[in-house]
Chains A and B, each alone.
Chain A
């Protein structure tokens, strides 16, 4: 049993190590800050070919090319926004996972908020309506009943 576990561990560890090495080998940064930025960007840029993967995850040729371009641009001291703009210029807003706010996409934020507001208003109104209307006459009647029981 222990043996099997050990083999399994070695395999999984080996797998992760080789992956980490592979990325480091290919895109090496002197500056750890840039290295972090590279990882961030490749996570946030979307592969234009394989639509639901970021370029860090994807092995499509275009994703590899985009990664290389990000690396190149970072070496040229581009900052994050400049790299994103560079990509958007070529592949459109589509290439970045955070959509821009414009008249078309504003609804992504407005609709949920609107829904909450309307739902709350509905709850408040219906509660008000159902709240029992009590007048003095009814109170007096209730008092009378209570007193009678005593």
Chain B
């Protein structure tokens, strides 16, 4: 009996350790729950990227299921993602861009808006424009309130203006089917 225990206890501990470490091989360190899920969109007042006279607030998301896509022309993955977003938009999805500019340093002056607009127009003409409109996050404050870590990132927002999903990285058919499709369809059906 004792001999069996002496053999089995270390074996069990070892197997436990192996399973624990093996799982680690497949875990994504970037994958951590967003703390804003099920929260309403943070409050903001920001201009439209193409027409800075017009401003939006968090209420702009009420009444429609929206994909809020954080992007910028300087972001390479965003450019790869754009054609697929365009396809989603053609399928009837409501996609809003949250645009922020890397070169704008709030501490030292600001790149002209015209310049940013021109860059964006060029990029969208080239790759297709999936956005109903773009919110211009001038000082990246909304991005910070949303817990954005970089671009691209996408939020799924329900009709009540609540955040239901936060995806870090690009959206492609695999990610859409695995992560978005079920929740999106459910929200639209409501």
Stretch from A29-37, A83-91, A139-147 that touches the partner: A83-91
Which residues on B sit within 8 Å (CB–CB) of A49? Answer: 149-150
The verdict on A48 contacting B34 (CB below 8 Å), with A61-B102, A65-B140, A90-B144 known, is no
Contact-residue bracket for chain A = 10 to 19
Contact B32 A92 (CB under 8 A): yes
Is A56 in the interface zone, CB < 8 Å from B? no
Contact A62 B150 (CB under 8 A): yes
Closest residue to A92 on the B side, CB-wise?
B35
Q: Which residues of chain B from 16 to 53 have a CB within 8 Å of any chain A CB?
A: 29-30, 32-36
**Residues from 58 to 101 in A contacting B, C-beta threshold 8 Å:** 60-62, 65-66, 68-69, 88-94
B34 to chain A, nearest CB (A): 7
Which residue of chain A has its CB nearest to the CB of B42? Answer: A90
B contact residues, total (Cβ < 8 Å): 19
CA–CA, A68 and B104, complex, Å: 14
Are A91 and B147 touching (Cβ within 8 A)? Answer: yes
Max chain B Cβ within 10 angstroms of own Cβ: one of A49, A65, A88: A65
Q: Nearest residue in A to B29 (C-beta to C-beta)?
A: A51
Alpha-carbon separation in the docked complex, A93 to B144 (Å):
15
For chain B residues 138-159, which have a beta carbon within 8 Å of chain A? 140, 143-150
By DSSP majority rule, is chain A's interface helix, strand, loop, or mixed?
helix
With A91-B35, A92-B32, A92-B35 as given contacts, are A68 and B147 in contact (CB-CB < 8 Å)?
Answer: no
- A90 and B36 in contact (CB under 8 A), knowing A26-B107, A69-B144? yes
Whole-angstrom distance between the alpha carbons of A51 and B144 in the complex?
A: 17
Q: Are A68 and B106 in touch, CB under 8 angstroms? A: yes
Q: Distance (Å) between the CB of B33 and the closest chain A CB?
A: 6
**Contact in complex: B35, A51 (CB < 8 Å):** no
The answer to whether B107 and A51 have CB atoms under 8 Å apart is: no
Q: Using Cβ atoms and an 8 Å threshold, which residues of chain A touch B32?
A: 92, 94
Q: How far in angstroms is the closest Cβ of chain B from A74?
A: 15
The 25 sampled A-B contact pairs (Cβ below 8 Å) are A48-B149, A49-B149, A51-B30, A61-B102, A61-B140, A62-B149, A62-B150, A65-B140, A65-B143, A65-B144, A68-B107, A89-B35, A90-B144, A90-B146, A90-B147, A91-B35, A91-B147, A91-B149, A92-B32, A92-B33, A92-B34, A92-B35, A92-B147, A93-B35, A94-B32
Identify 10 new A-B residue pairs, CB closer than 8 A, beyond the known A49-B150, A90-B36. A48-B149, A49-B149, A61-B140, A62-B149, A65-B143, A68-B107, A89-B35, A90-B144, A91-B35, A93-B35
